Structures are given as C-alpha cells and as structure tokens.
Chains A and B, each alone.
Chain A
Amino acid sequence: MTWSATARGAHQPDNTAFTQQRLPAWQPLLSASIALPLFFCAGLAFIGLGLGLYYSSNGIKELEYDYTGDSGTGNCSVCAAADQGRAPPPPCSCAWNFSLPELFQGPVYLYYELTNFYQNNRRYGVSRDDEQLSGLPSALRHPVNECAPYQLSAAGLPIAPCGAIANSLFNDSFSLWHQRLPGGLYVEVPLDRSGIAWWTDYHVKFRNPPLVNGSLALAFQGTAPPPNWRRPVYELSPDPNNTGFINQDFVVWMRTAALPTFRKLYARIRQGNYSAGLPRGAYRVNITYNYPVRAFGGHKLLIFSSISWMGGKNPFLGIAYLVVGSLCILTGFVMLIVYIRYQDQDDDDEE
C-alpha cells in the first residue's frame, strides 16, 4: 500500500529483452536422437578407457609382507612378543627373506602399511603446530595448545616437534639386501630416501628454524624431543638436507592419511643396477622393529610396488569404467527400444 496517490504512477515498463523475459536463449532438448549416440559414444569411450586402466593396473606388480609378527609368521614374532604395548619398546631386529623368480619391473617403490591406525582421528589430526614446523623461532618455544599432551615435556620444556602426530612418527627402518647368486653374498640395494615427500611440503611448508652459529642443534636448544623419540629431531639424519623438520620420513608422516589403513612411501629403488627394477634372485629385508602396533590391534606391512602412469595397483578404476561403459551401452539399447516403440505408437495414433 502506498501512501500517496502520486507514488502509484508507474510508467510504462522498459521494453528490453531482459525485463520482458525474452532474452535470447539456447534451449537444448536432450532428445533421444541426441542422447542415444551420446550414450553409445560415452559407453565406447568408457570401455576403452576402462580396458586401458584395467590392463595397466594388472601390469603393476606388488609384493607385500606382513611383519607385525603374529606368532608363527616369521622371525618378527620375537620382536612382537617383546613389544607388549610399551611405548617406546626396546629395539629389536628381524628380517624378511624372499626371492624373485624374474625381474621385478621397476622403478620399484618401497611402502610401509599400517592398519587400524587412525591418523584421521580429529584429535590426532589437529595435534600439530604448522608454525613451529615452518621454522618460526617463536613457535618453536611456544607450541600451540592443540599439541597437548605433547606440548611440554615433563621438565616443562617445549616439545619440538610438538603434538601427537610427530610423537608417533613411524620409526621402523628397513634395508634391502640382494643375493645375486644362490649362496652368494648379500649386496645392499641402495634405497633412495629422498624425493618421497611432496615437493611443496619439503621445500615450503616444512622449514628448519634458523641455524644458531651454523648449528641446527643449537637452534633447537631449550626444546625437548617428543617423548617417544629416541633421538632429537636434529639428529634424524646425518644429511643436513634431510634432518630436523625437513626430514623426509617425518614430512611424509606428517601428511596424515585419509583412512585407517594406509600406506606411506618409504623409499624409491632407482639407483645403479636397480634402476630397471629388482633383478631375479634372493632378497632379504632387514627390519629394525621399533614401532608397536599390536597395542591397538594394528598390523604393519612392507610393500614393494611398481608404479605406472596411473599410480599404484588399483583395479577399481578400470573395473568401474568398464561397468559404467557397459551400462551406458545397455541403457542405450533399452532406450532405443523404448524410442522405437513410442514412435510406432505415435504412428498408430496418427493413423
């Protein structure tokens, strides 16, 4: 309701396409004649892609070994028995022997897998201090509260790196030995431990605090290592480019996994004679068994895997493409029948 009579006087509306709702418009109609070829084309394309994916996935080799050490599953059970949920458990060594009847086509990647480990638990996931990890000196001394109960050591020193994620860093280590000839010597296969983390993580997101007098150890002075660690963070590796917060194992670990069963990259095998893959022969993996998993009902696995353009072995994508592609073609046929029947009916009606 308007108060004055004058305010009512609307003038003639603009005669534009917009105001008159007559904007030029493209009015696509997904009619059967367009949709049917579309279905068939999409179906064929999907089946093609699916076949490609399926075969490349099948071409990928994986070799895995559960070294958790459930009783009777190899010599790691000794270590497992020693670990009764204590953290940190006493160090222990065991080995995995296997032989390859033929060349394991490379490049070969070494992964470890943990099961029933909830890296995606919310409380666990927030228990980190990205500012500290980016090398900010102030954050180094004052970890965020989210890190609690791994924020301050019992002595009251700030923990670096703080938080549950860092504290639970995977600390088993592996070395791979190759016996070229039966009864021969085991030669250590070089494991490339660099280049396993995201480039941006390693180069940007994770930074060591500025060196004090050229020493990383001094930079970390006044902080405590996480309670479960045996060594302080600046001694993770003798390589200055791989120690402290930019230790690649550490960086990989800090990228929390999406699901409770996850794999993380441990090393790449691409040097010397092994750049084409692992040649046939007997192998042994020496395992330093540190990491307790039985306490939470988990398992640890060691995996050798080759990698293709689509990544690791994953039949899902190929099969899904094949199924959807077939479904498309099937639907296409059904639609064709429906379409023809309707057309007949129309013709009948017209007569």
Chain B
Amino acid sequence: MEVTPLHRSPPARLLELLTHPQISEAVCAPPSQCAGEEKRVGTRTVFVGNHSVSGTEAYVAQRFCDNRIVSSKYTLWNFLPKNLFEQFRRIANFYFLIIFLVQVTVDTPTSPVTSGLPLFFVITVTAIKQGYEDWLRHRADNEVNKSTVYIIENAKRVRKESEKIKVGDVVEVQADETFPCDLILLSSCTTDGTCYVTTASLDGESNCKIHYAVRDTIALCTAESIDTLRAAIECEQPQPDLYKKMNQISLVHYQPRINHCGPRFVGRINIYSNSLEAVARSLGPENLLLKGATLKNTEKIYGVAVYTGMETKMALNYQGKSQKRSAVEKSINAFLIVYLFILLTKAAVCTTLKYVWQSTPYNDEPWYNQKTQKERETLKVLKMFTDFLSFMVLFNFIIPVSMYVTVEMQKFLGSFFISWDKDFYDEEINEGALVNTSDLNEELGQVDYVFTDKTGTLTENSMEFIECCIDGHKYKGVTQEVDGLSQTDGPLTYFDKADKNREELFLRALCLCHTVEIKTNDAVDGATESAELTYISSSPDEIALVKGAKKYGFTFLGNRNGHMRVENQRKEIEEYELLHTLNFDAVRRRMSVIVKTQEGDILLFCKGADSAVFPRVQNHEIELTKVHVERNAMDGYRTLCVAFKEIAPDDYERINRQLIEAKMALQDREEKMEKVFDDIETNMNLIGATAVEDKLQDQAAETIEALHAAGLKVWVLTGDKMETAKSTCYACRLFQTNTELLELTTKTIEESERKEDRLHELLIEYRKKLLHEFPKSTRSLKKAWTEHQEYGLIIDGSTLSLILNSSQDSSSNNYKSIFLQICMKCTAVLCCRMAPLQKAQNLCFILPQFLYQFFCGFSQQPLYDAAYLTMYNICFTSLPILAYSLLEQHINIDTLTSDPRLYMKISGNAMLQLGPFLYWTFLAAFEGTVFFFGTYFLFQTASLEENGKVYGNWTFGTIVFTVLVFTVTLKLALDTRFWTWINHFVIWGSLAFYVFFSFFWGGIIWPFLKQQRMYFVFAQMLSSVSTWLAIILLIFISLFPEILLIVLKNVRRRSARRNLSCRRASDSLSARPSVRPLLLRTFSDESNVL
C-alpha cells in the first residue's frame, strides 16, 4: 500500500502512519472482517437511471440502502443507554458500580454517595467527551450527507442532497469534487471517456489514476443523452475489500506500482440499444469510481451509482472507532488487578481479625454498645459476608476511580498538542499532523517496529530516467532536463552502438508500452505550461520512461481515436492502433500493449521487472542485459526490462477472442485474465532495460538514523530489485558500513541444490550468530542490534515464500532504531508514569484507613469524613496530575530532538514496568504508615491545645488527610521540572482549594447531613500549634526519601552530562563519516559522456 503523498516530510509521514487507524491495523494485525460480509454473496442488478429494461420486467427490484453515511456511534435516543453500557464494560467502572450497589443494599461504613458521586463524575466526564467526539462525527457525517450533488432525472440536472442518491441514479460530478458514492463511470467530457482520480483521502496516494468509461457510453456526455441510455449493470454485492486487499499487498504481496491496482471489482454492463439487443461489456476496477476519491483534471463525469451509503467500499472498510486498548491501558489493567488483589486481601484479613477479636465476649458486645435484636439474630455467615463487603467498601478507593478519566482526558487533550504542533505542519500541502484516534497516542512512545514503504516514503517517488541499455549496449543521456524543457534532438550518447533498428524499436516500445495520458491544455494548473505536453499517469516510472524516450527523439503525442501517436526522430508522426492493454498487476509484475502498426503488423510490447521478463524471452542476449540491470540496481536505480514480439494475424484472432472472453467473465475473471496474459506474454525478444532514479526524500537519511539511534527496528518493504533496495538502504543509512548483512535471498540459496535445506542451514546459522550475540534473547533474528555489531537482514520474496510457504517478493530488513520527533512531541510518553503515581497516591490514601481498623475493633470505622473520601480523587488531586501529564517536559525539546537515544528509555513502557510500580507502591506504603502512626503518636497525650480541650476521632482523620493531600501534591510538585503558570495554578490552587473547602465544609451545619461530624473540626485543628508542627513534620518525613532521591539523581545526571559533553567534544573531532547518499550523485560523477 502506498500511503505517502509525495511531499510530506518523513517524520510527519511516520507519525501519520501510526495514527492512521487503517494503517496501524495493517501494521499490527490482520484486518478484521466486517460482520456480515460473508453473507453478501451473489450479484446485484442496477438499472442505469432507474429505467427498467424490457426483457427483465419480471425481475424483482432489489432493495438497496440509501446513501446516508453513519460513522457516528450514537443517536440522541440511544446515547444514554449505549454509552453507559459501554462505559460499564470497563473493569474499573464496573467495579465501582458494584461497590455502589453494595453500599446501597448492605449496611456499610460509608454512604453510597461517597463512591456514587465520583463514579457519576467520571461517567459524566467520559460521556461528555465521547458525546463531543460523536457530535463531531455527526457533523462530519452531515457535511457529507447533506452536501449537494447533481443527479440526472428525466433528462434534467436536479440538485439533491448526497444522502438522497439511490442505486441506479446517474450522478454528475465536477472537477475537484468528491464522489458521493461508488459510481460506474459512464462518460466524461473527454472524447476518450477517461477521467483522472486521486484517492488521497482514501489511501494517501496523491497521484492521479485514470479511470475509463465503457466504450459504448463515451459519447453520452450531456444530461439529455445520458438519459436515453438503457442499460443494466450486474455486479457483485458489496464487499469490503478496499483495504483488505491492500493490506495484503502491503505486507506480503507487495509490488511496485507501475500501474494502479485498485480495489477488486468485477461487473458487466448490458447496454440496450433501440433494437433492445443487449451489448455486454465488462466492467472492472478501472470503471469504478470510489466514494471519497476526488475527480481531478477532468471537467465533469457522469456515473451511475452502484453502491451507496454504508455499502460503498469505503464505508464497508470503515471499521468504526476501534475499541483498541493501548499497551498502557493494558498494563494499567494489570496493575489494577494487583490492587484488586491487595484490596481483597485487606478485606479478608480485616474480616478474619474482626472475628478473632470478637471472640472475646466483651469485645463483641460490650455493655455500652449492645446489638439490636435483629443483629443478634442474623446468621453468622451472613454477617461475615456483609463485614467482608463492608471492608471492601471501606478500602475501595485503593483503586482510583478517576484514573481512567484522567488518563483519557490526558490523551484527549494531549492529542491536541500533536495537531497543534507547528513542526508537524507542512506548508506545501497546508496540513498539520492529524490525530485519528486519541486512544493510541501513548503508543507513539512505545514503537518497536517501523514498517516503511520505500518508494514515496523513503524516496520522493518522482522518477528520472537515467540510462538504458539496448541489446546490452549502454546509453546515457547527455542533457539534464531543465523543468521539462528537454532537448529533443540532443545527440545520443552510446558507448557501443547497437543496431539502429533495435534502438528505434526500443524507443518505440518505451513510447507505446504504458498507460500514460496527455493532459490537454485545459489550464487546470494555469496556462503556463500549456505549450508543453504534460504526461499524466498513475505511475511516475512510466512518465519518466516516456520522457526518457522523448530525450532520445521519440515523443509520445497521446491517444487519438484509439490510436497512439508517436513522433519519431525524423519528426514524422507514426500512428499505432491500440488493440489491447494488458494492465500491470502485482502478480505478473509486467504490463504489455498490443498495437497495430500503420503497415498492419501486430506487435506486442512488454515491460516489467527483470525477474518477470527474463524467463519469458527466448533471446540469448539476456546475459548482457542482465549485467546492466544488476549494475543499475546496485546503484539504487529502479530497473525495468523491455521486450517485444510480433504476433501473426491468425494468432491475434485467437488472442483477441480469448481476451474478450476473459474480460467478460463475471466469475473468476482475474484468474482467467491471468491465464490468457500468461499465454500471450511468452516467447518474446528482449530489447533492453531502463534505469530510473527515485530520489531520496529530504532528510530521509537523518530520520532513519534517528530512528535507528532510538532503538527502533525499521522494516522496509519494497517491490524493487534487491540490489536497488539495498543501495537505497545504504543511502538512507538504514544499513551502515559496519552493518553485517544477513541475506536470505534466492542467490544465497540457489547455490545449493536443495533449496530448502540450504535455507534451513542459513536460518540456523544466522540464528546462532544472533543468539551468540544476545545469549538471553530467544527471539528470532528479527531483533538484531547491539552496540558492537549491527545486523541487517535481507529477505527476498521467493525466499520469504519458501519460509512462509506463500508467495511473492519483498525485501525486508530489520533494525532497531528511534523515533525522535515523535518521542519529543508525544506528551503521552510522559503520561506513562502517571498511572502508578496516582495509584500509589491512593494506596497511601487508603493505608491509614486500613491501619485504623486495628484501633477501632475492626468495626469498619472510616478514618476520613465522607466528603473527603468523595473529593479526594476528583477535586483535590486530579488536576495537578492532569496538568503535570500534559505539560511536563522532563527533558527539553531541543535535547530530545538532538538525542534520539533518549527514546529507548521510555520505549517498552519502561515507566509501567514492575520496578517503578513496586517503587511507587513501597513509597506509598511508607507514606501511609508515616501518616497514620505519626498522628497516632501525636494523639498519645491529654490534649493538643493550650486550653486543654480534647480532640476526637474526626480530628485524627482530618490531620491524616491534610498531611496526605499536602504530601501527594507536593510530591508531584517535586517531580515537576517544568513549571508553567498552569502548573503553579493547579498545584497551589488545589491546596488552596482543599483548605478553603475544609473551612467551608466544617463551617456550616449542613441540614442534609445526618451527622455533623466535621463541624469546626478543621478550624479547631488549626488552632493547635502542636498539630501544625506535626503536620509539617509528617509532610517532611514523607517527602524526605523523594527529595533525597532527586538530589542524588541530579548529582549523577550532572556528572553524566559532563561526561557526555566531553565525549561529544571528542566525537565532533572525528566527525562521523558522512555517507553521501548514493542516489544523490549527479551525472557529472561519470566522466565518460559524449
């Protein structure tokens, strides 16, 4: 799959690659099939213009869906139930729901409000966020559904909303408009019935593709005439293979794109002339215009809707907002389970101890605290169970209810930073980075493998013809093209001249064997180059070849009435009737044309990859050409071989018949075509080969190097020759001079007779080599990188197919490397440490509560007031952590950009590993213990006030809670290294809010409360000097380990930095060998120019 618009800078491209849902799908997993896809078998019949055709009267009209697109998940009516259902599928939410229900039904220490309110808050915030996102989708849907389209009804052009299009409607589409549904092209304003389409918004390919109308309907290019058309189209029921096919292509059947390989589509159109005799024509992907694609360089087209709405290829391939869980969320879930386990243990321990303690009768029921009759009568087992539940409720906050919502908000808001980023903005296409799903942002920090296309991603996909060889003689152009002003009559440069006839034949082949079109001077891009012929093709290679031929004096002048016109070196115009085009496809890896010369000879010209052409030529000069091809490939050029054959008229009759037959087939058309093509393209004569250069993208090498340094493994997938790919890899520094290459190619294997054994041997050998290098890594050879020795792996298609027992060609190589721009931008990387942080916070929140049970007879007495329990997660501690996760920059942007190795530190979810998790957990346990016992010892006195008055249990809890809130917030403050005004605001604001709230909450007798527990507790607490001193002391003790650690780290970092700068200084002296990209060599490098 070609996913690269031409000009995008590579980092931005890679980012898009990762944020593009379809593409990440392609990288990560096989695409899931749409539900119900398999049911839609059979064919559908579409009547053009909805005019029924006699003879099929009896046919029962099929029902098709309308053209409404629904990408939104919810409607106004089902939002509440559906969204709630989805939210409660999340473990944490479900858990809190259960806790809430327990609180409602069982007599528990805290009121249902304490967990109900935070849950309500979390659910509401998430619902608002999802509602907002869905509203955006609704809006986007509406924009599409309500957009204006023109439909031909009763010979008139009628304006309609897009959603009103029915299957069978004839739709008119103007230039630069998007197709509103899947259309079969009937006619365009051009005489040859072609149109140009770009599918940039579907798959990222920005080049123009040519689509054709069926020959019989070409002329119908007015509203009136198109209305007279009586025709029926038979085609398959919709199948969502737009990306399914392409994904396969991208990973296994990857092919160079010489011609467009569109979605799979077969169909047949029956055209009824006045005589009501049907003329059947085949329809293929080249006739199908996909919804979402854009019409280019064509004034207008008429097409008939075949698939509408949710049945369009695009909609069928739309997988909805995927419910993908990121690795971060997965590990959060894992830790959640750990905490759940701790919670259950705590509850079980407390319940057991409670009954042990209560075995003494006066503890169970002292005279001052007698049970009610009902309590006495309750079954003991039931009591134990409710006690267990009560303890669970009491400790339930160990799992932070707001964690998911904080993480989600962080991701949601963090994604804005990506799209806001100026450095991702590309002026040429006026687009910044686009975040398709906020669910996966943090994955950007966790990338292990980067799959990249070669053509168009590493290279610019703008081809230039470099040289050719004819019959083994090398030809190289003298002149460099200057903005298309080529010198047509430039002298030919040849080192050893081939036969003149062969030369001309070769050049004619270049001029004829392609699908290039001439853009008529209709001034779409301004009239500046109207004097010049502009070639348009789906493949830049073809343009380069045609231009190359022009340099040597053969100019392709375009098609006229099915005749290709070529101006030869003598300025004569030669006309060739185009009989058949055997389009390029990924399996054959070649294309052919069959033309008829003015003299009546029928010729077949074929061009394709060497591996696809060499076996099919009878020529003995393969060897000579092969040398050239290989040398060119080594230089990083894309090579193609050209062959021809003459076809006798008798043979042609047969071929013609077979071709038409195959094209008409509805079933297995591809297989049949392939077979016919295979028959035709044999016994050809090799004429020569071409070499085309594809320039490296700007900064591709730097990017790869950075990726590499960051420890990512880069896989390059390409359809080019192995040598071409290899040299490109060297040029973009994917391979470096010290890289040891492990080759798994036909060449290395064919040396031995029994291929499979040899392959096995090699695999074992490489494996040994790598395992030796990494004694611990038992994983395959795909992980190949250490500081000492780097390995690159090259696999070609046939070897891969030997391994996979399936097919095709690809050269892949792997690597570790890094992702600097992205790691720099992605704040989510930093968010990774947020989760343990917050969980640990909740551990030190709940631990004192647990310890308190030992001092209150395991009676589930809450230590903190209900309001504090409720507010802790949602008000007192959530904003600082959110601001921290969004704004923190541990390392400043410039350092990140310059040192990609930093990426390695955070990849693999380093911050969510067991180590940091345990560290945070133990720290939290320490803090919780300090809070509780500090206050406990403080209370070993008659009074804390100078007036001798006594504090109660709520003051005890409030002291612990105050210490807790301050410690947790200040700890975050200690961790914050990047204090923007927002951080100041939320950190100090949270503390201020806590104090303010406590005064407020304790300052009023609340009529809705049953017990006025907190009345003036906070104020009274602050009137004691001892309490102040104790709070300060406890905060300090809790933060002490953290401070110590930070200072130690800073000392170490300082020295490390100093060491680093020393090393840098010495590095810069022995400046790193600058590999001058091979592909940037200019022609002047070679002196032998005539």
Complex alpha-carbon distance, A204 and B1059, angstroms: 68
Nearest CB in chain A: distance from B886 CB, A: 9
Contact B980 A338 (CB under 8 A): no
Give 8 A-B pairs besides A13-B425, A22-B893 with Cβ atoms closer than 8 angstroms. A23-B887, A46-B1033, A124-B368, A149-B370, A164-B370, A257-B952, A258-B951, A350-B1062
| Cβ of A28 under 8 Å from chain B | yes
Q: Tell which of B200, B292, B417, B420 has the most Cβ of chain A within 10 Å.
A: B420
Contacts of B200 in A (CB 8 A): 5
Contacts of B372 in A (CB 8 A): 148-149
Contact with B along A1-36 (1 / 0, CB 8 A): 111111111111111000111111111111110010
Complex alpha-carbon distance, A132 and B862, angstroms: 23
Contacts of B294 in A (CB 8 A): 5
Contact A30 B430 (CB under 8 A): no
Contact A19 B420 (CB under 8 A): yes
Top 9 A-B pairs, shortest CB-CB distance: A168-B368, A312-B942, A258-B956, A19-B420, A314-B941, A5-B201, A258-B953, A23-B980, A122-B859
Complex alpha-carbon distance, A11 and B371, angstroms: 71
| Cβ of A49 under 8 Å from chain B | yes
Partner of A307 from the list B946, B981, B1046 (CB cut-off 8 Å) is B946
| Cβ of A184 under 8 Å from chain B | no
Contacts of A24 in B (CB 8 A): 980-981
Contact A309 B367 (CB under 8 A): no
With A149-B370, A256-B952 already in contact, the answer to whether A310 and B363 are too (CB < 8 A) is no
Contact B292 A11 (CB under 8 A): no
Q: Tell which of B856, B981, B1010 has the most Cβ of chain A within 10 Å.
A: B856
Q: Tell which of B940, B979, B1024, B1047 has the most Cβ of chain A within 10 Å.
A: B1047
Contact with A along B947-958 (1 / 0, CB 8 A): 111111101110
Complex alpha-carbon distance, A331 and B1039, angstroms: 14
With A259-B936, A312-B943 already in contact, the answer to whether A204 and B860 are too (CB < 8 A) is no
Contact B1048 A85 (CB under 8 A): no
Contacts of A198 in B (CB 8 A): 949, 1016, 1020
Nearest CB in chain B: distance from A140 CB, A: 16
Nearest CB in chain A: distance from B795 CB, A: 32
With A117-B368, A312-B943, A349-B1062 already in contact, the answer to whether A29 and B977 are too (CB < 8 A) is yes
Contact B292 A5 (CB under 8 A): yes
Q: Tell which of B419, B860, B938, B1026 has the most Cβ of chain A within 10 Å.
A: B1026
Q: Which B residue's beta carbon lies closest to that of A338?
A: B1051
| Cβ of B147 under 8 Å from chain A | yes
Contact B178 A260 (CB under 8 A): no
Contacts of A331 in B (CB 8 A): 1044
| Cβ of B383 under 8 Å from chain A | no
Q: Tell which of A168, A205, A292, A310 has the most Cβ of chain B within 10 Å.
A: A310
Q: Which A residue's beta carbon lies closest to that of B69?
A: A3
Q: Which A residue's beta carbon lies closest to that of B886?
A: A21
Partner of B369 from the list A8, A124, A197, A313 (CB cut-off 8 Å) is A124
Q: Which A residue's beta carbon lies closest to that of B321?
A: A1
Contacts of B1011 in A (CB 8 A): 126, 128, 130
Contact with B along A236-268 (1 / 0, CB 8 A): 000000000000000010011111101111001
| Cβ of B1078 under 8 Å from chain A | no
**Measuring CB to CB, which residues of chain B are less than 8 angstroms from any residue of chain A?**
20-22, 69, 71, 109, 140-141, 143-144, 147, 178, 200-201, 292, 294, 314, 318, 360, 362-363, 366-373, 416-417, 419-422, 424-425, 427, 430-432, 434, 436, 827, 855-857, 859-862, 887, 889, 893, 934, 936-953, 955-957, 974, 977-983, 1005, 1009-1012, 1015-1016, 1020, 1024-1026, 1029-1030, 1033, 1036-1037, 1040, 1043-1044, 1046-1048, 1050-1052, 1054-1055, 1058-1059, 1062
Contacts of B942 in A (CB 8 A): 62, 109, 111, 263, 265, 303, 305, 307, 311-313
| Cβ of A180 under 8 Å from chain B | no
A-B contact pairs, 19 of them (CB 8 A): A2-B201, A3-B71, A20-B422, A24-B981, A30-B1046, A118-B366, A118-B859, A120-B859, A121-B861, A122-B862, A130-B1012, A167-B368, A260-B855, A263-B942, A263-B950, A265-B949, A295-B362, A307-B942, A342-B1051
Contact B943 A109 (CB under 8 A): yes
Complex alpha-carbon distance, A146 and B1086, angstroms: 99
Partner of A1 from the list B436, B951, B1036 (CB cut-off 8 Å) is B436
Contact B21 A1 (CB under 8 A): yes
Complex alpha-carbon distance, A327 and B1054, angstroms: 25
Q: Which B residue's beta carbon lies closest to that of A345?
A: B1055
Nearest CB in chain B: distance from A249 CB, A: 12
Partner of A4 from the list B140, B421, B936, B1005 (CB cut-off 8 Å) is B140
Contacts of A8 in B (CB 8 A): 201, 431, 434
With A8-B201, A258-B951 already in contact, the answer to whether A32 and B1050 are too (CB < 8 A) is yes
Contacts of B1037 in A (CB 8 A): 324
Complex alpha-carbon distance, A273 and B945, angstroms: 24
Contact B1043 A1 (CB under 8 A): no
Complex alpha-carbon distance, A23 and B888, angstroms: 11
**Measuring CB to CB, which residues of chain A are less than 8 angstroms from any residue of chain B?**
1-15, 19-32, 35, 42, 46, 49, 53, 62, 85, 87, 107, 109, 111, 117-128, 130-131, 134, 144, 146, 148-149, 164, 167-168, 195-198, 200-201, 204-205, 252, 255-260, 262-265, 268, 292, 295-297, 303, 305, 307-314, 316-317, 320-321, 324, 327, 331, 335, 338-339, 342-343, 345-346, 349-350
Nearest CB in chain B: distance from A230 CB, A: 15
Contact A317 B1026 (CB under 8 A): yes
A-B CB pair tally, cutoff 8 Å: 323
Contacts of B860 in A (CB 8 A): 122
Nearest CB in chain B: distance from A229 CB, A: 13
Contact A335 B1029 (CB under 8 A): no
Nearest CB in chain B: distance from A266 CB, A: 10
Contacts of B368 in A (CB 8 A): 87, 117, 124, 164, 167-168, 296
Q: Which B residue's beta carbon lies closest to that of A148?
A: B372
Contacts of A123 in B (CB 8 A): 369, 371, 859
Contact B943 A32 (CB under 8 A): no
Complex alpha-carbon distance, A257 and B893, angstroms: 55
Complex alpha-carbon distance, A140 and B303, angstroms: 85
Contacts of B1025 in A (CB 8 A): 309-310
With A317-B1030, A338-B1051 already in contact, the answer to whether A12 and B432 are too (CB < 8 A) is yes
Nearest CB in chain B: distance from A253 CB, A: 10
Partner of B417 from the list A19, A118, A312, A317 (CB cut-off 8 Å) is A19
Contact B1036 A339 (CB under 8 A): no
Contacts of A314 in B (CB 8 A): 938, 940-941, 944, 1026
Q: Tell which of B370, B940, B950 has the most Cβ of chain A within 10 Å.
A: B950
Complex alpha-carbon distance, A122 and B863, angstroms: 10
Contacts of A292 in B (CB 8 A): 367
Nearest CB in chain B: distance from A152 CB, A: 11
Complex alpha-carbon distance, A335 and B1040, angstroms: 14
With A25-B980, A260-B857, A308-B946 already in contact, the answer to whether A200 and B1016 are too (CB < 8 A) is yes
Nearest CB in chain B: distance from A291 CB, A: 10
Contacts of B1036 in A (CB 8 A): 42, 46, 324
